[in-house]
Amino acid sequence: MDIFELAGQNQQKAWKILDDTGIFQAWERIGATVNLVGSLKSGLLMKSRDIDMHIYTDKLDIGKSFSVMQELAARLPLLEIQYGNLIDTEEECIEWHATYKDMDGDRWKFDMIHIRKGSRYDGTVERVTEAIIKRLTPEIRRTILQIKYDLPEGVSIPGIEIYHGVFSGNVKTFKELERWRETNPLTNSLDWLP
C-alpha cells in the first residue's frame, strides 16, 4: 500500500474516532476550547496512533478536569488513564493520557493537555504545528511518513524529533535520523520552529 494512502486511512479512522467519542464536546461542556495539534492536524499520522489535543480554560480547575475524564471513562472503552498535575510548573497544565480501544481492537492514545489560557505555552504547539504544515511539500511529507513507517517495533521517537531532523538536518531515512539525533538533540521542543 502506498504510504500516502496508508496515512490517509489512519487520518480518516482518527477523525471518525473523534466524532464517535465526543471528546471535544465533553471538554466544551466545562467551557474549554479544544485545539487539535500534532500529527493528526498536520496529516502526518502513521503507525503511532496518537491523537493530540490542547485544551484551554481561563483557570485550571482540577475538579472540572476530573469530571470530564470521569464522563469519558464511564462511556468509552478506555483501557488506561494517566494523570499529571503540572499546575505549579511553568507549563501550567494538567496532563491526561488515555488509551482507547476502537471497534477493530486497535489501541489509540489520546493526549489531552489541559492548559491555562494566557500561560507561557498558550498556543506554542499550535504555532509549531502550523509552521510544519506550511513547510510540507509532497517530498517532505513522504520522507516524514516513511521514517515514521520505518520505525522498528518498540522504538518510540516523538514526531517533533523526526520533524526537527527532516527540516533542520535534511534527514531522509530512519538510519540518518538515528545519527542526526546523536549529535543534534532537540533539547527543548517547545522552542523549535521549522
The 10s digit of each residue's pLDDT in 18-64 is 999 999 999 999 999 999 999 999 999 998 899 999 999 999 999 99
User: Is it the case that residue 164 has pLDDT exceeding 90?
Assistant: yes
pLDDT of residue 149: 95
pLDDT for residue 185 is more than 90:
no
At 189 the pLDDT is 79
pLDDT score at 190: 76
What pTM does this model have?
0.92
Lowest mean pLDDT among 59-63, 111-115, 132-136, 181-185: 181-185
Specify the pLDDT at position 47: 85
| β-sheet with 78-86: strand ranges across | 33-37, 50-57, 107-116, 93-101, 78-86
Residue 53 CB contacts under 8 Å (≥ 6 apart), including other chains: 23, 24, 27, 34, 35, 36, 37, 110, 111, 112, 113
What average pLDDT is seen over the chain? 94
Question: Among residues of the chain, what percentage have pLDDT more than 90?
Answer: 90
Is a pLDDT exceeding 90 seen at residue 188? no
CA distances for 1 relative to 7, 21, 42, 100, 130, angstroms: 10, 28, 21, 26, 28
Could you give the 3-state DSSP secondary structure of residue 65? helix
- Which pLDDT does position 120 carry in this prediction? 92
Residues pairing with 57 in the sheet:
116
Average pLDDT over residues 135-158: 94
Q: What is the pLDDT of residue 121?
A: 92
Residue for cell digits 491555562?
Answer: 116
Strand spans (E) along 27-77: 33-37, 50-57
Mean pLDDT of 116-128: 95
Rg of the chain on CA atoms, in Å: 17
